[in-house]
Structure 1
Amino acid sequence: MAASIAVALLTAILTPLIVYWLTTRTRKPLPAKLPPGSLGLPVIGQSLGLLRAMRSNTGERWVRDWVDRYGPVSKLSLFGAPTVFVTGPAANKLVFGSDALAPKQPRCLPLILGRRNILELVGDDYRRVRGAMMQFLKPDMLRRYVGTIDAEVTRHLDAQWAGRGAVTVLPLMKLLTFDIIATLLFGLERGAVREGLAVAFADMLEGMWSVPLDLPFTAFRKSLRASARARRVLEATLREKRARLERGESSPADDLVSCLASLRAEGSGKQLLTDEEIVDNAMVVLVAGHDTSSVLMTFMIRHLAGDPATLAAMVQEHEEIAKNKADGEALTWEDLHSMRFTWRVALETLRMIPPIFGSFRRALEDIEFDGYVIPKGWQVFWASSVTHMDPGVFKDPEKFDPSRFECQAPPYSFVAFGGGQRLCAGIEFARVETLVTMYHLVRRFRWRLCCKENTFVRDPMPSPLHGLPIELEHIGMAPPCKTDC
């Protein structure tokens, strides 16, 4: 057994080296206008340096140092492939708006989430799937569900925060976002099915960013098996939703799965999305909606613990809304539009600590950009923090200043939600759940960070030390207990 595992590991290591050596012997000459930089050692390149930096929370510094050395367009080698690293608003426009670039996710992601997910699609397929998802995620639809999200947030705070002297924020925020997705997007009632999906999802996340080595006892194998369990739940949910639609027992507006199952292509009347596409993109929604929103709200809580002026302004904004509402009355869509300052705080948090560090694209053809050529087949890598922390784009970028979002940021300068045709379909959904959650949190609690060391790491999402334990003060109640790290 041990010998077979060793042989498999050796094969996994040597195969890329052999392939690289063979392909470099026959590769056509590279263009003369390649960007400056260095490809480093074969296969290894700069991968280990970047991974070490991300795990030690110096990833942003690593990419800024690289840009300082080689400029806003440079070449390097990441994860076994020659890569062009691009930064700045013009580069972001290229990344998010060019049909000459295709998405290129880590190999493990399509194997776990499914090959027909929106992160993998290009051209007409991408526009078709995104358009279908927007039928449910557009503002006109989401305004109907503010009360549902309000009820989920209130239930969560009553069950997980009220009466506690201390809590750990990140896992609770992940629990909350999962519950909102399960209720609103999947239409799953609380019970065994929903609990089974939660367990499968948690196991799946452990191997999402692992080496795609399908061997016993690896994180990737565990994630694949968990993905299969999650898919079975979603496939059964899809069958049930479709049957209820056909019997007239439900509406396409009930949840995202029902909406996608009901859509038909114009002219032919055929199902707009295949069952595989519906399930694959439900998996993406589960991962993206769970991680990004929970990280955003966690870091908002982290920042507000040390910024009483910003917290006071948020409280004042929310109290103005609350004074016109009866006790226990749910928030409305109009209430959310009054939370302008709170959303600016959220945007500034995303600017300084974007959940997504960066991602890759693949050049489908030779591309000329900024005087250089990006060869066909090469990776294109972008990192949002370089633009977000550029003093030429955002004045005093190290300063937390929500007022910078009183006016719309220049095009393609703020890219926490992507941009152009690749703008996140769930941006409005994230706004609603963030505003509703922060409204209830700041009106019910005050908090203090337990850990003296206020740091975070990326793996690959930013995660604060120990999940951000905080002491809670319940407004109008007894003081919190004393804890420390």
Structure 2
Amino acid sequence: MAELLRAAGFFDLRGAAPFVVAAAVAMYFLVEQLSYLRKKGPLPGPSLVVPFLGSAVRMIRDPTGFWDAQAARARESGAGLAADFLFGRFIVFVRDSELSHRVFANVRPDAFHLIGHPFGKRLFGDHNLIYMFGEDHKDLRRRITPNFTPRALSTYAAIQQRVILAHLRRWLDQSAATGEAMPIRVPCRDMNLETSQTVFVGSYLSEKARERFAKDYALFNLGLMSVPVDLPGFAFRRARLAVARLVRTLGECARKSKARMRAGGEPECLVDYWMQETLREMDEAAAAGRPPPAHTGDEEFGGFLFDFLFAAQDASTSSLCWAVSALDSHPDVLARVRAEVAAAWSPESGKPITAEKIQGMRYTQAVAREVVRHRPPATLVPHVAGEAFQLTEWYAVPKGAMVFPSVYESSFQGFASPDAFDPERFFSEARREDVACKRNFLAFGAGAHQCVGQRYALNHLVLFLALFVSVADFRRDGTPGCDEPVYMPTIVPRDGCAVYMEQRCRTFPSF
């Protein structure tokens, strides 16, 4: 019998190899499908998913449509949640504001881990504020506080205005030369990169280093939106290597600042304020015979500064574009902003707008906050469930799931006529929607990881608004669909916010 079976090929696996492989692949697909369905439970979402990729192709091709579909499922089901599958990862989309708060409030090793980007740990490196927990994170944030005092913000405001005006001059010159509408998304990004570099590390970054810095940051931006293949020749690998270079460069800036502050220099940029306070605490520890405070190495500072840069760069670019778009489509708002700024500052004054006058521009401040509410730049804040977490009475997020609280969806919950652009909601003493709807205003996050630089970010937007409306007359190139949001990686107008511009003031500001 054995000889007959052998002759029939039952013991010859060479011919059966393709069938074995096919069976193994089919088993993998089945296990993956069953695992997805088990994790999905009662949540709305696709019943069948493409093996490994899931909905990744649609997400890459049309991120706006993909996330809109998640929101629609969560809204129409009444669950406030939706499920899907991306690159082998089970994901949970969170639309409900209170459930988003539950995620933000439970960032800890046994609950949710803030990651900032689905593959951020690999991309950003180890020394990053967003990956820290508990007392370690709390202590570092405490030591960051001196970077955003009124005195520090006043120092930054003068720098911000010089950089903004230099770029506005170039925009106006280009517009005058071409007579064509200029998409300002990329110019805004370049302006913000120079602003961040100058505010954060000042003169410690040479012109040559700035050129390399800009190239590396462009590589990083491309990697953010690419397929996460960490192999030579792929955008993700180039981005990861660029981040490592950027961190080293920023770490060298921290080293130079420490030396200058140790020599008694006055703070001229953010890293100076940070190093001044750090040196004081290091000296106190040394005098008491204690080891230096944690996270005071130059490379660690480089990682933290890159975290600041990432937070300030693309989010600010998004907000500036949406602000210009909103002012163009709301001439009454534009007129009020111009009148308020003109009452406080003139381009012909030869002086920058002071910190006190910035705070006095209450309506312009309200416009800035409404821009951020109406079009929150970072629409989603990715987290990973370190352990299973009971998010609702009826659903527990499984361990390892990627969770996406939607800041964008929260921004349209609770507010009166939420789809309307209406700065009065933040200005009117009678309405006070900033108080009544505070828990839905999540553009800067919430909980322990709430954006530590939000005052700086709003000041930057206010200063841009004040300077732009004072020196430029402008109008949008209103092509069909130009203001549809697209991900780049934060949301921006589809046409890059193309505007016609000409100089408005008699004398362009110089100080």
TM-score of Structure 1 vs Structure 2, range by shorter chain: 0.7 to 0.9
Alignment-derived partner of residue 405 in structure 2? 382
Partner-residue secondary structure (3-state), 2:228: coil
Alignment-derived partner of residue 124 in structure 2? 113
TM-score scaled by length of structure 2: 0.80
Instruction: Supply the distance in 1 between the matched residues of 2:185 and 2:502 (Cα, whole angstroms).
Output: 18
Alignment-derived partner of residue 230 in structure 1? 246
Amino acid at match of 1:173: C
Percent identity over the alignment is 23
Check whether the contact 1:89–1:411 (CA below 8 A) recurs between aligned residues.
Answer: no
Alignment-derived partner of residue 399 in structure 1? 420
TM-superposed CA distance for 1:460, in Å, is 2.5
TM-superposed CA distance for 1:20, in Å, is 6.9
TM-score scaled by length of structure 1: 0.84
Alignment-derived partner of residue 208 in structure 1? 224
Q: Does 1:369 align with 2:388?
A: no
Alignment-derived partner of residue 257 in structure 1? 271
Residue-by-residue CA offset, 1:148-173 (whole Å, 9 max, x unaligned): 22222223323443573353311221
Residue-by-residue CA offset, 1:375-398 (whole Å, 9 max, x unaligned): 3332222112222223xx122222
Alignment-derived partner of residue 442 in structure 2? 415
TM-superposed CA distance for 1:186, in Å, is 0.8
Select the residue among 342, 348, 353 that pairs with 2:375. Answer: 353
Select the residue among 59, 66, 75 that pairs with 1:68. Answer: 75
Check whether the contact 1:133–1:256 (CA below 8 A) recurs between aligned residues.
Answer: no
Check whether the contact 1:156–1:176 (CA below 8 A) recurs between aligned residues.
Answer: yes
Select the residue among 447, 472, 489 that pairs with 1:445. Answer: 472
Larger of the two Rg values belongs to structure:
2
Q: 1:24 to 1:457 in 2, by over 3 A?
A: closer
Alignment-derived partner of residue 487 in structure 2? 458
Alignment of 1:22-41 (within 5 A): 35=43, 37-38=45-46, 40-41=48-49
Partner-residue secondary structure (3-state), 2:146: helix
Residue-by-residue CA offset, 1:228-255 (whole Å, 9 max, x unaligned): 3323322322222223233x1524x332
Check whether the contact 1:138–1:428 (CA below 8 A) recurs between aligned residues.
Answer: no
Check whether the contact 1:107–1:212 (CA below 8 A) recurs between aligned residues.
Answer: no
Alignment-derived partner of residue 180 in structure 1? 195
Select the residue among 81, 85, 108 that pairs with 2:93. Answer: 85
Q: How many equivalent residue pairs?
A: 456
Instruction: Supply the distance in 2 between the matched residues of 1:43 and 1:260 (Cα, whole angstroms).
Output: 44
Partner-residue secondary structure (3-state), 2:129: coil
Instruction: Supply the distance in 2 between the matched residues of 1:395 and 1:402 (Cα, whole angstroms).
Output: 12
Amino acid at match of 1:118: L
Partner-residue secondary structure (3-state), 1:287: helix
Instruction: Supply the distance in 1 between the matched residues of 2:329 and 2:491 (Cα, whole angstroms).
Output: 19
TM-superposed CA distance for 1:26, in Å, is 12
TM-superposed CA distance for 1:105, in Å, is 4.3
Amino acid at match of 2:385: A
Check whether the contact 1:92–1:412 (CA below 8 A) recurs between aligned residues.
Answer: no
Q: 1:278 to 1:330 in 2, by over 3 A?
A: same
Q: 1:449 to 1:249 in 2, by over 3 A?
A: same
Select the residue among 43, 50, 53 that pairs with 1:44. Answer: 53
Check whether the contact 2:254–2:275 (CA below 8 A) recurs between aligned residues.
Answer: yes
Instruction: Supply the distance in 1 between the matched residues of 2:28 and 2:452 (Cα, whole angstroms).
Output: 37
TM-superposed CA distance for 1:78, in Å, is 3.4
Residue-by-residue CA offset, 1:79-102 (whole Å, 9 max, x unaligned): 322233322221121121113211
Q: Does 1:318 align with 2:341?
A: yes
**Which 5+ residue runs of structure 2 have no aligned equivalent?**
1-21, 507-511
Alignment-derived partner of residue 282 in structure 1? 305
TM-superposed CA distance for 1:476, in Å, is 5.6
Partner-residue secondary structure (3-state), 2:501: strand
Q: More deviation in 349-358 or 261-270?
A: 261-270
Partner-residue secondary structure (3-state), 1:93: helix
Check whether the contact 2:124–2:240 (CA below 8 A) recurs between aligned residues.
Answer: no
TM-superposed CA distance for 1:442, in Å, is 0.3
Residue-by-residue CA offset, 1:107-144 (whole Å, 9 max, x unaligned): 54333322221122222232233333232124442133
Instruction: Supply the distance in 1 between the matched residues of 2:171 and 2:469 (Cα, whole angstroms).
Output: 15
Instruction: Supply the distance in 2 between the matched residues of 1:18 and 1:249 (Cα, whole angstroms).
Output: 68
TM-superposed CA distance for 1:49, in Å, is 3.9
TM-superposed CA distance for 1:179, in Å, is 1.7
Partner-residue secondary structure (3-state), 2:308: helix
Alignment-derived partner of residue 8 in structure 2? none
Q: 1:127 to 1:21 in 2, by over 3 A?
A: farther
Q: Does 1:471 align with 2:492?
A: no
Amino acid at match of 2:97: P
Instruction: Supply the distance in 2 between the matched residues of 1:244 and 1:149 (Cα, whole angstroms).
Output: 22
Q: More deviation in 94-103 or 35-44?
A: 35-44
TM-superposed CA distance for 1:472, in Å, is 0.9
Q: 1:417 to 1:327 in 2, by over 3 A?
A: same
Residue-by-residue CA offset, 1:190-215 (whole Å, 9 max, x unaligned): 62222222222223222123222233
Amino acid at match of 1:92: S
Q: More deviation in 89-98 or 368-377?
A: 368-377
Alignment-derived partner of residue 4 in structure 1? none
Partner-residue secondary structure (3-state), 1:463: strand
Q: 1:162 to 1:279 in 2, by over 3 A?
A: same
Alignment-derived partner of residue 6 in structure 1? none
Instruction: Supply the distance in 2 between the matched residues of 1:32 and 1:60 (Cα, whole angstroms).
Output: 17
Q: 1:289 to 1:376 in 2, by over 3 A?
A: same
Check whether the contact 1:109–1:209 (CA below 8 A) recurs between aligned residues.
Answer: no
Check whether the contact 2:474–2:502 (CA below 8 A) recurs between aligned residues.
Answer: yes
TM-superposed CA distance for 1:297, in Å, is 0.8
Instruction: Supply the distance in 2 between the matched residues of 1:255 and 1:354 (Cα, whole angstroms).
Output: 27
Alignment-derived partner of residue 306 in structure 1? 329
Amino acid at match of 1:135: P
Instruction: Supply the distance in 2 between the matched residues of 1:310 and 1:67 (Cα, whole angstroms).
Output: 34
**Which 5+ residue runs of structure 1 have no aligned equivalent?**
1-13, 478-485
Partner-residue secondary structure (3-state), 1:305: helix
Instruction: Supply the distance in 2 between the matched residues of 1:23 and 1:419 (Cα, whole angstroms).
Output: 37
Q: Which has the higher helix share?
A: 2
Q: More deviation in 179-188 or 308-317?
A: 179-188
Residue-by-residue CA offset, 1:292-346 (whole Å, 9 max, x unaligned): 11210111112212211110111111111126x9711211111111222122222
Amino acid at match of 1:176: M
Instruction: Supply the distance in 2 between the matched residues of 1:306 and 1:226 (Cα, whole angstroms).
Output: 39
